[in-house]
Amino acid sequence: MRLALKTAILLALCGSLAMASEQFSMSDEDRAMYEEMLENNPAEIMIESGGELFEEYCGGNAELAKFLGVKEDALTEYLAGFPRYIESLGMVAGIDQVLQALMHQRGHKPFALKSSEMFEISSYVKSLANDVAINIDVKANKHMKEAYAFGKEVFEAKRGKRGLSCLSCHSKEVIGSILRTQPLPDFRANNTAGTWPAYRMTKSELTTLQKRFQGCMQNALLEVLPLGSKEMNALEVYITERSNGLPIAIPGLKR
Amino acid sequence: MSKVKSLVKIKPKTYKSGDIVKVDFVAMHPMETGMRKDKTTNRFVPADYINSVKFIYNNETITTMNVWESLSTNPAISISMKIADAGDLKVVFTDNGGSVNEKSIKITPKG
Amino acid sequence: MQRREFFKKLGFVAAAAAVVPSVSFAAEAAAPKGPNEFSFEEALKAITGSKGAAASDKIKLKVPEIAENGAVVPVTVEVDSPMSAEDYVKTIHIFATKNNNTRCIAAHLTPANGKAMLSTRIKLGTTQDVATVVELSNGTFLMAKQNVKVTIGGCG
Encoded amino acid at C39, one letter = S
Q: What are the tens digits of pLDDT across the range C19-54?
A: 333 333 333 333 333 445 678 988 999 999 889 999
Quote the mean pLDDT of chain B.
95
Give the C-side interface with A, CB within 8 Å: 3, 62-66, 68-69, 71-72, 74, 76, 121, 151, 153-156
What pLDDT, on a 0 to 100 scale, did the predictor assign at position A175?
83
CB B109 within 8 A of CB B83: yes
Q: What whole-number distance in Å separates Cα of residue B56 and Cα of residue A236?
A: 46
- Does B68 sit within 8 Å of C103, measured CB to CB? yes
Pick the more confident residue, A220 or B66: B66
> Average of pLDDT values for B31-46?
91
What pLDDT, on a 0 to 100 scale, did the predictor assign at position C87?
98
Q: What whole-number distance in Å separates Cα of residue B70 and Cα of residue C36?
A: 10
What pLDDT, on a 0 to 100 scale, did the predictor assign at position A3?
64
> Average of pLDDT values for A40-56?
97
> Average of pLDDT values for A116-129?
98
The CATH class of B6-107 is mainly beta
Mean pLDDT by 10 residues, chain C (156 residues): 52 39 36 55 90 95 93 97 98 95 96 98 96 97 96 68
Query: Which chain C residues touch A204 with a CB distance below 8 Å?
Result: 71
Q: What whole-number distance in Å separates Cα of residue A195 and Cα of residue A198?
A: 6
pLDDT bucket at A179, cuts 50 / 70 / 90: confident
Whether the per-residue pLDDT at A149 is higher than 80: the answer is: yes
What pLDDT, on a 0 to 100 scale, did the predictor assign at position A215?
93
Query: What is the distance in angstroms between the Cα of C35 and the nearest Cα belonging to chain B?
Result: 10
Put simply, whether A41 touches B (Cβ < 8 Å) is: yes
Task: Please report, for chain B, the start and end positions of each structural domain, with discontinuous segments joined by +.
Answer: 6-107
Pick the more confident residue, A55 or A7: A55
What pLDDT, on a 0 to 100 scale, did the predictor assign at position A75?
98
pLDDT bucket at A6, cuts 50 / 70 / 90: low
Query: Which chain B residues touch C116 with a CB distance below 8 Å?
Result: 80
What pLDDT, on a 0 to 100 scale, did the predictor assign at position C32?
33
CATH number assigned to the domain covering C1-11+53-156: 2.60.40.2470
Whether the per-residue pLDDT at A173 is higher than 60: the answer is: yes
Give the B-side interface with C, CB within 8 Å: 20, 22, 31, 33-37, 39, 44, 46-47, 51-52, 57, 60, 62-73, 75-82, 84, 94, 96
Residue of chain A nearest B24, judged by CA positions: A40
Query: What is the distance in angstroms between the Cα of C74 and the nearest Cα belonging to chain B?
Result: 9
Note the ipTM here: 0.95
Query: What is the distance in angstroms between the Cα of C153 and the nearest Cα belonging to chain B?
Result: 18
How would CATH label the architecture of A43-127? Orthogonal Bundle (1.10)
Query: What is the distance in angstroms between the Cα of B10 and the nearest Cα belonging to chain C?
Result: 13
What pLDDT, on a 0 to 100 scale, did the predictor assign at position A2?
62
Question: Which regions of chain C does DSSP assign to beta strands (E)?
Answer: 54-55, 59-62, 66-67, 73-79, 89-96, 103-108, 116-122, 128-136, 141-150
Q: What are the tens digits of pLDDT across the range A189-199?
A: 899 999 999 99
- The count of other CB atoms within 10 Å of the CB of residue C151 is 17
Q: What whole-number distance in Å separates Cα of residue C117 and Cα of residue B81?
A: 9
DSSP letter at B72 equals P
> Average of pLDDT values for A41-49?
97
What pLDDT, on a 0 to 100 scale, did the predictor assign at position A28?
87
Residues 6+ apart with CB under 8 A from C35: C18, C19, C20, C21, C28, C103
- Does C3 sit within 8 Å of A202, measured CB to CB? yes
Among candidates A26, A201, A202 on the partner chain, residue whose Cβ is nearest the Cβ of C66: A26
CATH pick for A2-9+137-254 out of 1.10.357.10, 3.40.640.10, 3.40.50.1980, 1.10.760.10: 1.10.760.10
Task: Please report, for chain C, the start and end positions of each structural domain, with discontinuous segments joined by +.
Answer: 1-11+53-156
What Cα–Cα distance (Å) separates residue A215 from each residue in A10, A176, A223, A226, C33? 15, 20, 10, 11, 43
CB A233 within 8 A of CB A83: yes
CB C130 within 8 A of CB C77: no
